[in-house]
Amino acid sequence: MRPSLPPAHRGAEAEAPDAHLLPSATLSADERIAIYAEMHEARLAGVLAEDYVAVRAIAGHAEFHEIVRGYLADHPPESFTLSVLGRGLPEWIARSATVERRELLADVARVELAMSRVFDAPRETALAPADIAALPPETWTDPRPRLIGALELLELGHRANGIVRAVREELPMPPLEPERTRVLVWRQDDVVWRRELESAGFALLGALVAGAGLADAVAAAEAAHEGDAEELATSVQGWMARWSADGLFARFD
């Protein structure tokens, strides 16, 4: 790992390869170990490229390679599984002064990271719409829906969900200029889904994720809603029905 890193990140404790390796007939100890160092870095870069397809497409091959090298220098792998290798990449991009369009790339990375995390989240059984309809009447006195763990909410400064979709499905690219968006990412039947939400729906679902009861969640939606109360009531009914069909509810306390 050490020779693949920039000199400033190798650390004073790194030993010279010739302390442990003999030269061959044509290669020095440094050159021999460099073969494996380059293979190691290439494997890690390949993993990140698979996880961050849209980031690579927007950044371009050369810039993405520099992002990967900088990130791995600060976040060398520490786990036996490569599935967690890129968990810190979105925030690393957001903080990096050397990455061009870092705000855009960080938002795109947040969507792709949420997709990976949601896919890897523990499996659990969600309530079907029929299960919710069969709940006892007393449940609805003060309902407290509890959501599945395989769910994330993202508030972003760009059309990052549309960009990810365009890249991965080879569709026309949406504008790359800043625009506030809110995205729900969840897993249902081992498939990861994404949907953009309006502000009131995002506020309601966010309150439920935080553990609020339905009444308090609706109050949060009211604070974010710009229309009249009757319109919101209709929307809440529609959202709850849709989220039930999406398998977002684990139980009602």
Contacts of 243 (CB under 8 A, 6+ apart): 205, 249
pLDDT of residue 14: 66
pLDDT of residue 5: 53
Residue 178 lies in a domain: yes
Going residue by residue through the chain, which has 253 residues, state the pLDDT in tens, using 9 for 90 and above. Answer: 555 555 555 555 667 788 888 999 999 988 888 888 778 888 999 999 999 999 999 999 999 999 999 999 899 888 888 889 999 999 999 999 999 999 999 999 999 999 999 999 999 999 999 999 999 998 888 899 999 999 999 999 999 999 999 999 999 999 999 999 999 999 999 999 999 999 999 999 999 999 999 999 999 999 999 888 889 999 999 999 999 999 999 999 8
Output the CA–CA distances (angstroms, integers) from residue 89 to 86, 97, 104, 116, 177, in the order listed: 5, 14, 13, 12, 21
Residues 91 and 212 in one domain: no
C-beta separation of 73 from 98 below 8 A: no
Residue 110 lies in a domain: no
pLDDT of residue 30: 83
pLDDT of residue 64: 96
Residue 113 lies in a domain: no
pLDDT of residue 107: 98
Q: From the CA atom positions of the chain, what is the Rg in Å?
A: 23
Residues 128 and 227 in one domain: yes
Residue 116 lies in a domain: no
Residue 127 lies in a domain: yes
pLDDT of residue 61: 93
Residues 174 and 244 in one domain: yes
The number of folded domains in the chain is 2
C-beta separation of 147 from 248 below 8 A: yes
Instruction: Name residue 204's amino acid.
Output: L
Residues 164 and 243 in one domain: yes
Q: How far is the C-alpha of 53 from the C-alpha of 112, rounded, in Å? A: 8
pTM for the full predicted model:
0.87
Q: How far is the C-alpha of 20 from the C-alpha of 11, rounded, in Å? A: 18
Residue 246 lies in a domain: yes
Structural domain boundaries, residue 134: 122-253
Output the CA–CA distances (angstroms, integers) from residue 54 to 10, 111, 121, 169, 209, in the order listed: 30, 10, 22, 10, 27
